[in-house]
Amino acid sequence: MMGFDLAALLGLFGLTSAFALVGLVLAGWMCWRIAEKAGLPGWAGAAAILLTVTGIGSLISLILLWVFAFMRWPRDGLALAGASPAAAPGPGMAPAAPAALPLPPRVLADRRGWMLYDSRPSYTLTGEAGGGPDELVVAEPSVGRPHARLLTASGRIGLQDLGSPGGTYIDGARLLPAHGPRDITAVRTVKLGNVELALSRT
């Protein structure tokens, strides 16, 4: 009888341990993905969960959760990359570089992307450089002078058409000046005239 009780008890512990192990692996996997979505290395998220197997791990994981919620995520930096299938030389996007770094050229001949930070509230997308400090030049005839305005604030990015004949499109939908500024944080492509730009985050 004693042996049966012991076996049942051990079986219960085994079952509990199995559930705990599955839960731990599942949580580690999900936290890996969450960390990657925030722009952090995935292993950092998984490691935060695996710390729970240590003696005071639950407390550490709780602290890390709070740190993760209120820290600055690498995702918060925006990247606007050119991906033009229509324009022969490819689009050029002027930069908004950190003050400590030298400004790259305003017009790019290849398909390199530009990093956009929200330190500057707005940029003017134009087809020709006019000398303004906030200009993003897309050297293509179908792009107006100016064409549209990019707005950045708190990790979000907006777009406003300035009435250029070439037209502005957000994921294929026409943006008119009457629409005013539209949030394009979650969109994938923006088209200025014949130039298509891909929006991504780093």
Partner 1 sequence: MITVIGWLLGLGMFALMAILVVHVLFALLLIVPSWRIFERAGFSGLLALFHLVPVVGPFIVMAVLAFSDWPKGEGRPKPAHPA
Q: Minimum distance between the CB of residue 165 and partner 1, rounded to whole angstroms?
A: 22
175/167 Cα distance (integer angstroms): 7
Give the tokens for residue 185.
Answer: 């944080």
Q: Is 158 in the site for partner 1 (CB under 8 A)?
A: no
Could you identify the residue written with the tokens 């929200």? 118
DSSP β-ladder status, 122-126 and 135-137: parallel
Give the interface size with partner 1 as a residue count (CB under 8 A): 37
182 near partner 1, rule: CB under 8 A: no
Asked if residue 74 binds partner 1 (CB under 8 A), the reply is yes
- Nearest C-alpha neighbor of 80 from the set 125, 40, 35, 36: 125
Q: Does 111 bind partner 1 (CB under 8 A)?
A: no
Radius of gyration of the chain (CA): 25
- Helices and strands in the chain: count of H runs, count of E runs: 3, 11
Stretch that binds partner 1, among 1-9, 33-41, 127-135, 161-169 (CB under 8 A): 33-41
16 binds partner 1 (CB under 8 A): no
Count of Cβ atoms closer than 10 Å to residue 123 Cβ? 24
Q: Is 75 in the site for partner 1 (CB under 8 A)?
A: yes
174 binds partner 1 (CB under 8 A): no
Cβ of residue 186: shortest distance to partner 1, in angstroms?
5
CB of 196 to partner 1, least distance (A): 6
Stretch of 20-28, 100-108, 113-121, 142-150 lying at the interface with partner 1 (CB under 8 A): 20-28
Calpha distance 156→135 (Å, rounded):
19
Torsion of CA 46, 35, 196, 129, to 10 degrees: -130
Q: Which residues bind partner 1 (CB under 8 A)?
A: 23, 26-27, 29-31, 33-34, 36-40, 62, 65-66, 68-70, 73-75, 78, 83, 85, 155-156, 171, 185-186, 188-189, 196, 198, 200-202
